[in-house]
Structures are given as C-alpha cells and as structure tokens.
A and B are shown apart, each in its own frame.
Chain A
Amino acid sequence: MAAVTAAPGTVRSGLALDVGRVRQDFPVLRTRIHGKPLVYLDSAATSQKPQAVISAMDDFLSHWNANVHRGVHDLSQRATLEYDAIRERVRAFFNAADSSEIVFSHGTTSAINLVAHSYGGSVLRSGDEIVLTEMEHHSNIVPWQLLAQRSGAVIRVAPITDRGELRLDALEALLGPRTRIVAVTHVSNVLGTVNPIRRIADLTHAAGAVLLVDGAQSAPHLRVDVRALGCDFFVCSGHKMLGPTGVGVLFGRRDLLEGMPPYEGGGGMIERVSFEETTFAPPPARFEAGTPPVAEVVGLGAAIDYLERTGFDRISRHEQTLLDLAYEQLRGFPGLRIIGEAADRASVLSFVLDGAHPHDVGTILDQEGVAVRAGHHCAQPLMRRLGLISTVRASFSLYNTADDVAALLRGLRRVREVLA
C-alpha cells in the first residue's frame, strides 16, 4: 500500500480505500459489454481476479509447475514448499490455531460434502438431528439431506423473520439432546444478512453439537477469525474471494479432523497401503486425496495476500458505504421492493420490481453493461419462505464504485422504458 500522508485537518484517507487504484488491479474491469463499460455487480456469484492472482498462477505454471509431496527434484520441492507455505498463510488469514486445521478442498460445496460424509457419516445415528436455517444455499442443504437419507437423521430448520434475520430464539428451541450438527451461513447470498455466529456457536456447543459455518459470502468481505467465531468447521471458496475456481478451504478443529475417517481415497492421503489394509495420513493430508489443485492454491495465496494488503478495515467500510448508498437509492425507486432488511448486512442486495420479472430486468441491465444475477440464487426454500420465485441481486466488492450504483439506477430506469 502507498504510504498515507494525511495533512492536518484533512480526513484520514488512510482508512479509505483508493478504489481507483484497486480497479487498475482488475484487468477484466476494462472489458466492454455491448459497447458499454462493464459494471460488474455479480461478485457474489464469482469475484473478479486482480492481476496479482493471474500473474501468480501464470508464473507458477510458466516456471515452477510440478506436483507436490512427490518428487525429490528441485521443482517439486519448490512447489511443495510453496503449497505448504500457503497453507500456513491461510491459517493466519483465518486465525486458525494450527495449519493442520486447514484442508484445501475444491470449493465450499466440496468442503461441506466432505464434512457431511466424513464427520456426519461417522457421528450420526438414526433419529439424530441436523439443524439448518431457512436462508441456506442449496449447497448447505442438499449434502445434509443426502446424509440424513443415509443415516436416518432428521433435518430441522430454524426460521427467519420477515426482515430476513435468523430467529435465534427459535434456533435455540430447536437444539436438543439429539442435535449433532448445526450448519449455518455466515452471510446470506440472497439477503446479505450477517448471522451472529458467535451466539450460534455458543448455543450449539451448549447443546453438545458442532457448528459448520458456510463462509462463501463472508470470507471475501469480512475479517474471519475462526477462533473468535467459535465455529468447529468453516468453509469457503477461492473464486468468491478474488482467487481462482477449483479451490476452497475447509477449516476444521484439529481434534475433530483427527477423529474423522477419510472422505475420498487415493494418493497423498495414506500412510501405508497393502491390499489387506491401508492406514491413513493425519490431517490435513488425510482429506486431500489425489493431486491437489496446486496452481489454484497458488492463486488463492495471492488472493489472500491481496486482501490482507488492502486491509479488511478498508474493504468492509468501502463495501458498506456502497451497500448503504445502493439501499438508499433503490428504496426510492418506484415499484421496487428490497428483499432483506436485516440490521447487519454485507455485500448483497436483492430486490424485485413491480411488473418486471427478474429475468427481464437482468437481460435489460445486461444490455446496459450492468451484470447482476437474476433467479432463485440456489436458495429455493428461502424463496418459498419469502413468497417469491426469484429476485434480482446486485452484489458489491472492493472494486465497485458509486458510479456502479448510478449505472444500476440508470439501468432500472431503462427497464421501465423498455417494458413500458
């Protein structure tokens, strides 16, 4: 970061994000869509990548590519050192106690499936309970449903309020002696609601269960400290936090990971193999069967370095300012209804427009260069709870500006013209 020289009496710009500079780091933002500058408001689907991430992967693949934990040759040893060093940086990023608590997965979905299969599969008995919430993404529902079908466990669902906040009292009432697992999103990908994870962790532990936090939408926007949150598992995706697709992170408390059986079998996760018997490597290797996504891990390492350099204090404040601005402006738009009014929100803003289906809104905005998501956002149970089929979702990241919010507003006026 550039040194900040704040003259006396001026605003302390050291706390503000230099978004103009940030934007220069993201080459895709120079792309034009239908002849217009790209206004990318779909970071909750996938974030854009800074040059530092692209270059790190390019450099690795161009000069240092080799498999990890295999060769005695220099390239392989360098790749292994780098891979393990990034695991340590990810540990620090999430403030985990030990780097063996950091497992590289292929994304949030594969990490949840890993926990459901390995932890859930070994712990759950018929009649045990898994507690979810109404605001979960399909990827934090379906793996648990499959687990419930295999194990005879029962799924219980904690309700939300009309404003889109989790009803903690109802969640607490659901927790009981048969509760084994609670799986909750940190930030809703539809409502933007930030859930009070620490409180939920305390309630979960008081019931003798473990808590998995779906951090796909929080890791890019908030400082995540897994020990402060008190969660037992935390999962997220590289591609939503400025990194590449194909890599994700599972944080698991060490004592839990150590007791868990393997999820996938293969190379890299064993101690000793014979046709009669195989003994397994300790975590994290036990859960990383096969060649891991090495280049993607390198990209993820560059992404978290970029987020750290930029600083979550600046990122969060900038995104919150944009979100507040967008709320303010959209609220005044005729016939527009914002979906999700939680007191604590991050990054995501969903809405519906009278007389305009979200898909039509999405198509017309796209013609103006404005990329939003229109649909059910892989949260159909939440849509049903809200009495909706789909919404338009604008999501903000550190590279968005007030001009992007203005472009969204202009686009919505265009929607009114086209569909008039």
Chain B
Amino acid sequence: MGSLSELYQSLILDHNRSPRNFRSMENADCHAEGYNPLCGDQLSVWVKLDDDRIEDISFQGSGCAISRASASLMTTAVKGRTVAEAREIFDRFHRMITGQADSTSEKVPAKLAVFAGVAEFPSRVKCAGLSWHALKSALDRGPEKVSTDDEPDVRQR
C-alpha cells in the first residue's frame, strides 16, 4: 500500500480546492455523466469541439478529492488537444492508475503523473477514472450516463 503523501499530492489538493473549468456549458457539442455506484458520486463533463479539436471542456458534480482533482486536471490536460490525442491520453492514464503502465513507453502529460499513486489504492481507482469515463462516453456520443462499474477498473489482486 502506498503512502498518503503519494496519493494526496499538493497538486491534487490544489485542484480539489480550486477545480479548473468547474462549470456547466450551454453550447456543448457533447456531454456525459459519470456515476460511481460505490459512493453515489457523479460528475458531468461537457465538451465543445472545433472540428476534431477540443476547444473547451468543463465539468461539474460532487466527488472526493481524487475524483475532483482528476476531473480538473483532465480538463487542463486535454483542452486544445485533438480527440484522438485525448483518447490516447485516456488510455495511458487508465493503464497508469490501474497499475498496468509500461513506464518506459507510457508517458502521460506530466501533471497527470501525480495520479500514479492511485494504483496503490485499489479502492480509489474508480474515483480517479470517473471523469475520464464520462469524457470518453461524451466523445463516443455514447450513453449519457456511464457508470464506473461498466468497466473493470480495479486490478485483480
């Protein structure tokens, strides 16, 4: 089990206290809601596209420090990126928090690396993944509501 200071890094605490892009969006092109049945938390994610580029992204909802900070950092990490780039970051992020990353080739944007410690807290992996699942569903024009139970997030041990 990892240490608390790895889980609750100052960047995470900062984004928990003052989440970026924490607002709803009127003219979004796509939207989805992530739901974690384990704790009842839910986050909405809105995306405004310019062609295949994420022009704007925002989120709102209730969540723990990990899920809020993850959502906030996600918005800053993918804003301005193409949809394909965002999907690639999602895949790498997902592998990182589930402890499946191959550290040499799997780079996530530096600020997202603060979530590497989550892999050592299996009960918190779904918190870190909540907003990303919502983003993926929004980009896929998938279901409006996506549950963290729909994907096997927690590594078997």
Across the interface, A389 reaches (CB within 8 A) one of B41, B66, B123, namely B41
Across the interface, A357 reaches (CB within 8 A) one of B13, B65, B121, namely B65
A363 touching B7 in the complex, CB below 8 Å, given contacts A357-B63, A419-B13, A419-B65: yes
Could you tell me which B residues sit within 8 Å of A by CB distance? 1, 3-5, 7-8, 13, 16, 38-41, 62-66, 121, 123-124, 127
Residues from 339 to 383 in A contacting B, C-beta threshold 8 Å: 356-360, 363-364, 367, 374-376, 380, 383
A4 interface residue (CB < 8 Å to B): no
Flag if A375 contacts B64 (CB, 8 Å): no
27 contacts between A and B (CB under 8 A): A356-B65, A357-B65, A358-B39, A358-B64, A359-B124, A359-B127, A360-B8, A360-B64, A363-B4, A363-B7, A363-B121, A364-B4, A364-B8, A367-B3, A375-B38, A375-B40, A376-B39, A380-B40, A383-B40, A389-B40, A390-B40, A390-B41, A418-B8, A419-B13, A419-B16, A419-B65, A420-B13
List B contacts of A383 (CB < 8 A): 40
Give complex CA distance A356, B124 in Å: 15
Task: Report the 6 A-B pairs with minimum CB-CB distance, sorted nearest first.
Answer: A357-B64, A359-B64, A376-B40, A389-B40, A360-B65, A375-B39
Could you tell me which A residues sit within 8 Å of B by CB distance? 34, 356-360, 363-364, 367, 374-376, 380, 383, 389-390, 418-420
List B contacts of A364 (CB < 8 A): 4, 8
| CB-nearest residue of chain A to B121 | A363
List B contacts of A376 (CB < 8 A): 39-40
Across the interface, B123 reaches (CB within 8 A) one of A356, A363, A380, A418, namely A363
Q: B4 CB to closest chain A CB, in angstroms?
A: 5
Across the interface, B39 reaches (CB within 8 A) one of A356, A374, A419, namely A374
Q: B110 CB to closest chain A CB, in angstroms?
A: 23
Across the interface, B1 reaches (CB within 8 A) one of A34, A360, A389, A418, namely A34
Give complex CA distance A364, B5 in Å: 10
Give complex CA distance A376, B127 in Å: 15
Give complex CA distance A411, B16 in Å: 20
Flag if B62 contacts A389 (CB, 8 Å): yes
List B contacts of A375 (CB < 8 A): 38-40
Give complex CA distance A160, B52 in Å: 51
Flag if A363 contacts B124 (CB, 8 Å): yes
Q: B118 CB to closest chain A CB, in angstroms?
A: 10
Flag if A390 contacts B39 (CB, 8 Å): yes
Give complex CA distance A393, B16 in Å: 23
Give complex CA distance A9, B4 in Å: 51
Give complex CA distance A37, B63 in Å: 30
Q: A222 CB to closest chain B CB, in angstroms?
A: 29
Flag if A389 contacts B124 (CB, 8 Å): no
Flag if A389 contacts B65 (CB, 8 Å): no
List A contacts of B4 (CB < 8 A): 363-364, 367, 418
